Structures are given as structure tokens and as C-alpha cells.
Structure 1
Amino acid sequence: MNMLDVLKIREDFPILKRKINGKPLVYFDNAATSQTPLAVIDAIVDYYSNYNSNIHRGVHTLSQEATDAYEMARKKVQEHFNAKHSYEIILTSGTTHSINIVATGFTNLLSKGDEIIVSALEHHSNIVPWQMLCERAGAVLKVIPMNLEGELVMDVYEQLLSDKTKLVFVNHISNALGTINPIEKIIHKAHKVGAAVLIDGAQSCPHIKPDLQALDVDFYVASAHKLCGPTGVGLLYGKEEWLNKLPPYQGGGEMIDQVTFEKTTYAGLPHKFEAGTPNICGGIAFGVALDYMNAIGFDTIAAYEKELLEYGTEKLLEIEGLKIYGTSKNKTSVISFNIGDIHPYDIGSIVDKLGVAVRTGHHCAQPIMDFYKIPGTVRASFSFYNTKEEIDILVEAVKKAKMMLS
């Protein structure tokens, strides 16, 4: 028996009352960004209405209130992800920013001929920064291949590892296919050859509550806007010893200890990586979003989203000619599909006219689409505030699109 009261939860999300082209909004683009509950919207309004001020600098009351709220949010992030210390949590502008801090920081830690491993399932933000790093450092990029089900070929991964491997980067869950990668094994095997591991958790955090200490991962990155939080804020977790090895990413206020024209010394963690005025309100709202999701419970969310995935998969496969990409047994609530030779963009445009929001294209994962020899897919991604009735609306909309485009 599922304990999730979806209709009650939907009341928390004002946007779900919207009409699109005269039809009730069916929002199935959750893998791109989740919607924002009232608790988070209220926290943003409260900040700007009552204690908007710069942090860590002022002795006045507003500054102290804002600083306390911001640092409390960092503590919430630490507790949610079970990092050992709150100063191992760097608040960034999002996953891409977090990855770039690490990729830039490793420039002077690599030698010519060192090897970096990424996977074939990566988002562009977990490919391009490493290619740029390889160009700067003279390192070599290796790729863990994927199979037709959309899973990583782990035997080949083990063959790629050697004492030349310095870094391994994989996503926890594929944004394009929903595949959940075996990150425990990936981390363990990388550590055996002395390599550091960064896990891109952007897609996993809405569905899974990762325990960073249990994973023994070196770096973990995620974005608040996938977790019912605002855009423009995210986290970089790094083990203390790694964060101490990396140089600052940006210079400016807040990240310094002493500044003279001869020499500058840098602040300790986490401030060393937080130059300038941060997204204060975003950080505070991120903490509120985590509170909101934890109150519902990640086990409850996972069980309900599994029901939606199974129901959606079954109903969509009843449409003749529809093919699903990403059929791993271990996947989350994402369905990527095409119908025959119909371009995914055309299907997306028609279902939008019927009020259904899906994502179309290569989902910033072009190598996956090249592997399947397709231009892209239609991606429907479900969240805990979606319903089976909405899936029925999607199915009818896709049938209509197929009829119009065939």
C-alpha cells in the first residue's frame, strides 16, 4: 500500500493548476527541472521581504540573520547527503559549475599521459570539462562503453583501469535513459588503482538519498532545481583532503585570508571555493526544499515513482511502433521513446498543444543518440506529484500525434 497522498501533495505546487492551450498542464519534464512547492517559494519571498543582506561580512542584524540561515542550509545539505563535515559542502551555481571547479583544479595535478575515464552515458557537462582538462594537461580520455539496454559494460571498465588512471567520472543516473549506474562498484574498483572518483548526482538526487560516506566517493555534485529547489544553486561535495589539494577556482572577495599586492593567502574550506556574493536566497531555499522532500520521505517517493514508471512503460508500449530506449532493469522514472521515423520534435510539439510537457532532442547526451543512430528521443520523466491519470493523458496525446504524423 502506498502512503503517498498525491492529491494533497499537488496542492503544494501552484504551477500544476495552470492550463496550457486550454488544457490542464501535465508536466513530464522533471528530469530537466522539478517544480517548486509553496514552502520553497515562501522561503524566497521571506528572504527578500525580511532579511535580504550580504553574508559573512556585516555586524548588523540583517547580515547576521542571513549568514545564520545560509550556513544552516549548508548544514542541512551536509546532513541530507551524510558528508563528514559541513565545510566539505561547497555551495555552487549548480552541477555544471561544480564539475568545472574540479576539472579546472586538476589541471596542475595531472601529468602528460595520465588517463581520465568517463562513461558513454554522460551529459555534455560531464564530457566537455574533462576534454578541456585533457587538452590543458596532455591527459588521455577513455570511455566506458554502453550496451543496447543502456547499461555500462563493466568488464570493459575494469580493463580500462590502470595505474595511469587518475580520475573516473560517471553519472549516478543517466538523464537521457534513466539507467541507474552501479556506482558502488565503479568507486571501489577506481580506488584500487588509486584514482579519484567524481559522481554526477544531478539526476539521482530527486529519487535516491545518497550516503556519501558509505559510498566513499571523492567528489559528488548535484543541483537544487532537480530537488524542488530554485535554479542557480547546487553543491560540490569533496573529501577534505581533495578540496585542500585543489586550487581556488575563482579569485575575489570571501575566498581570501590575507591580501597584499605581494601575496594573497586563501581562506579555509568552504570559503576558498566561494568567491563573491553567493546565491544567498537560493542556498536558503535549497535547505527548505530538502526539508520538504525529506518530510515526504525518499523511500515513499521511490516506491511511488516505480509504480508510475511501470504503468507508463506498459501503457506506452501498447502504442504500435513505439520503441523505448534505455531498458535497464535498474532504472528510474524516465521513459525515452520514438515512434518509427517520426521526428521526436514533431511529437513533442503536438503533445504540447494538448497540455503535455515532455522534453525532445538529444538531452545534452549526443553520444547516446549517436550510439542508437537516432536524432533524439521524446523523454517523459515522472515525479512524485504526477499521477497515472496524467500518464493516460500523455498516452492519448502521443496516439493523436502518431495519427497526425503518420
Structure 2
Amino acid sequence: MSRQTATLDVEKIRKDFPILKRKVNGYPLVYFDNAATSQTPQQVIDTISDYYSNYNANIHRGVHALSQEATDRYEQARETVRQHFNAAKAHEIIFTSGTTHGINLIANGFSSELREGDEVLVSAMEHHSNIVPWQMLCERTGAKLKVIPMDLKGELLISELEKLISEKTKMVFVNHVSNALGTVNPIKKIIDKAHEFGAAVLVDGAQAAPHIKADVQALDVDFYVVSAHKMCGPTGVGMLYGKEEWLEKLPPYQGGGEMIATVTFEKTTYAGLPHKFEAGTPNICGGIAFAAALDYMNAIGFENIAAYEQELLHYATNKLKEIDGMVIYGEAAEKTSVISFNIDGLHPYDIGTLLDKMGIAVRTGHHCAQPIMDFFNIPGTVRASFSFYNTFEEIDRFIEAVKKAKMMLQ
């Protein structure tokens, strides 16, 4: 099926992504694993090459030209990230190695905020990275972990949140978008309810950031974390947004160079924000490339991206539903371009393996969201996730490949 959208020149966009030209097992690559890692445009690749070719140096420490240039570019990148997420101040943006790093940084800091009997709320649809750090925190502090349940549509039961939350609640953690189901959670409603009880809120924006341009001030969220590699940037870099008052209050996560003001053997004092949380040599190139990726996506326009991806989602969903035995998990009223599915009697791993033989990359398994799989009483799913550089023709190939895999396995 050939379709021209009113919002995007997809064929022109695809030319920016070198990897989309390659073949896998003799077939043109169809890359539907974007929820794990998106592909990288040439503009970002060139930014990485330019850094290592022309001004590779450590930052904040040197008086020489390369160091000053690298420092300027890195701090310009921080400002780009600030503008994108509409943080009030640049020092509220902490560069991290990714979403998991940001979550652990806050969980570690809250060790000094929690007491025995306090409570932490998480949702039932969290990634393991959003569960394990809080379990560890509760074990250290004696706080109790409580879970906001979900329904069979893959939507959180907000009425249950209202029963769970209390004056004992000190932190509420929820993902903006479920990585396994694509559900867009009502985070503004959750944030407002948490704040009524004086609880802080950390939102995992890793799966939302490629599709939704979050405004952290409008949301009034206390902490927001993302990874660059979900949104056309490099791996190993991300950002933590935190309200200034919280970041000032929490202790450093790591000790080392850059995060200090003074060091003696008797006492160390810490640097101000953001350096207090950026110990050691950072991923300088990664931060600069992250900003280049944001510039690239903003030039296309997030409203355009979201509208096109919704077209892909609806088209693929309707086509998959025509296949006998198809079960789709997570049909929330609001969701991003993610489809998790199984076919009755077939293991998702077997389907994914056969799709790969036909050049189609999907994710199989529990997607680091085992509690969701336990809720549906399944071992895992096949997950197809679409990005703005995917096409309707690719979905047609995918549908035919799923049908072929079904025929071969039955």
C-alpha cells in the first residue's frame, strides 16, 4: 500500500537514516523495534564524528581552546534539552547515562527522605528499572511499596490510586508511556493528586519522549527522566530533570571529580547544580549528539510525528486483527505506536525468529515488564513499535510475514 501523508515526506526522511538501506537475511530491513532503540539520522552521526574529529577534549577543566570549545558545546546542549522540556533553569537538567541512571540517582537520594512506615507508590505497568530501585530503597529504609493496579485494556485504575495515596506517601513513580503496551498514562492527574498529599512525583518519560513533547513546568512534575537512544540520539546518555528545590535537597549520587567545590582530607564540600550530580568525565559527545537529535526531531515537528505514527498504529492494528487467533494486549484509549500481540498456540519467540528471517526486526519476550505479563498470564509478547521513518508498505510486509510465520508454525 502506498500512501502519502499530509504532514511528513517520509521518503525524504528515510534518506537521513543510513541503516534503513541495509538488508537482513537478503531482505530490505524493516525496523519495528523502535521502542527499544530508535535509529540514528546522518545529522546526528555527523555531530558525533565532528566532535571526535575536531574538538575532542575534557570539559570545565582546561584553559586551552579545545576544552573551551567542548565545554561551550556541552553546555549549549544542556540549554537545548532545557528548552525542549521547558525546564525553568538549565541547572535543573542533569546529564545521565540514561533513564535507569536517573531513576537510581533519585531513589538513592530518597534514602535520606524515607522512614519506616512511609510509602512509595508505583504503577502495575512499570519497566523493571522502575521497580527494582524502589524495592531496594524500601528494603534500606523500611518504607512500603504499593502498586497502582491496571485493567485488561492496559489502563491504570486511577480510582484505586485515590484509595492508595495518603499522608504516608512520599514518592509516586509512574511511566508516562508503557514500554510493553504503549499506554499513555494520565500523568498530570496523578501528579496533581500526589501533590495534594505532599508526595513527590518521578515520571519515566523514556517511552513518551519520542512521541510526546513533555512540558515539565506545565506538568508540575518533580522529576522526569529520558534516554537519548529512544529519540534518534546515541546510547549511553540521557537526562534527569529535577525541580531546583529537590535537587538542592538531595545528596550526591556519586563522589569524584567535577562534583566538588573543595576537597581536604578532613572535609569535602559539593559543587552547585548541575555539577553536584555529574561526577567524573561525562559522555561529552553523547550530550552534544543528544541535542542534535532533539534539533532534528523538532525540525520535523512532534505534532507531525505523533499524527503520522498514529496513522501507522491504526493501520497495523486493524490489519493484525484480521488474522485468526490474534490477541492484542493493551488497547487503551490513548496509546503510542506500539502493538504487543500473540497468536493463539504460538510462542512469541518463535514468531519473532521467523520474522527476523524475513528481514523484520521486532522485540519478543516480557520487555523488562514481567508483572504485566503475569497480569495477562502469558510468557511474553511480540512487540512491534513504529517510528516516523516507517512506512505503510513496511507494515504490509510485516502483516504478510506474520501470516507466513503463523502458517509455518501451526
TM-score (norm 1): 1.00
Query: Residue type of the partner of 2:153?
Result: E
After superposition, give the CA deviation of every residue in 1:345-379 in whole Å (9 maximum; x if it has no partner).
00000000000000000000000000000000000
Query: Aligned match of 1:348 in 346, 349, 352?
Result: 352
State the alpha-carbon separation in 2 of the partners of residues 109 and 217 from structure 1: 18
1:98 counterpart residue number: 102
Letter matched to residue 267 of structure 1: A
Separation (CA, whole Å) in 2 of partners of 1:91 and 1:74: 8
* Distance in 1 separating the partners of 2:279 and 2:78: 16
Question: Does 1:152 find its partner at 2:156?
Answer: yes
Q: C-alpha distance in 1, partners of 2:336/2:94?
A: 27
Tell me which of 54, 68, 72 is aligned to 1:68: 72
Tell me if 1:309 matches 2:330: no
Q: Which residue of 2 aligns with 1:296?
A: 300
Report the alpha carbon displacement of residue 230 of structure 1 after superposing the two structures with TM: 0.1
Structure 1: 5+ residue stretches without partners: none
Aligned twin of 1:191: 195
Alpha carbons 1:2, 1:303 under 8 Å: kept: no
2:282 is aligned, of 269, 278, 287, to: 278
Secondary structure of the residue that 2:342 maps to in structure 1? strand
Instruction: Determine helix, strand or coil for the equivalent of 1:106.
Output: helix
Q: Amino acid of the residue matched to residue 396 of structure 1?
A: E
CA distance in 2, matches of 1:333, 1:111: 40
Q: Does 1:402 align with 2:406?
A: yes
Match of 1:255 among 256, 259, 264: 259
User: Residue type of the partner of 1:17?
Assistant: K
User: Is 2:56 aligned against 1:57?
Assistant: no
Counterpart of 2:19 in 1: which secondary structure?
Answer: helix
Cα shift at 1:329:
1.1
1:119 and 2:130 correspond? no
* Partner residue in 1 for 2:28: 24
| Cα distance in structure 1, aligned partners of 2:327 and 2:344 | 8
1:164 counterpart residue number: 168
Counterpart Cα distance in 1 of 2:345 and 2:51: 50
The runs of 4+ residues in structure 1 deviating greater than 6 Å are none
What residue is the counterpart of 1:11 in the other structure?
15
1:398 Cα deviation from its structure 2 partner? 0.5
1:15-56 CA distance string (max 9 Å, x none) = 000100000000000000000000000000000000000000
Matches within 5 A, 1:170-249: 170-249=174-253
CA distance in 1, matches of 2:67, 2:178: 40
Question: What is the letter of the counterpart of residue 211 of structure 1?
Answer: D
CA distance in 1, matches of 2:50, 2:330: 42
Q: Aligned residues: percent identity?
A: 76
1:392 maps to amino acid: D
Partner Cα separation in structure 1 for residue 168 and residue 345 of structure 2: 44
Paired positions, count: 406
Cα deviation for residue 65 of structure 1 reads: 0.3
2:164 aligned partner, one-letter code:
L
Residue 393 of structure 2 aligns to a residue whose secondary structure is: helix
Is contact 1:126–1:169 with CA below 8 Å preserved after alignment?
A: yes
Select 1:265's aligned residue among 269, 281, 296: 269
Partner in structure 2 of residue 322 of structure 1: 326
Q: Distance in 2 between matches of 1:122 and 1:226?
A: 17
Q: Give CA-to-partner distance per residue, 1:322-349, whole Å, 9 cap, x none.
A: 1100000111100000000200000000
CA-atom RMSD in angstroms: 0.5
CA distance in structure 1 between the aligned counterparts of 2:63 and 2:231, rounded to whole angstroms: 33
Quote the offset at 1:209 in angstroms: 0.1
Structure 2 unaligned runs (5+)? none
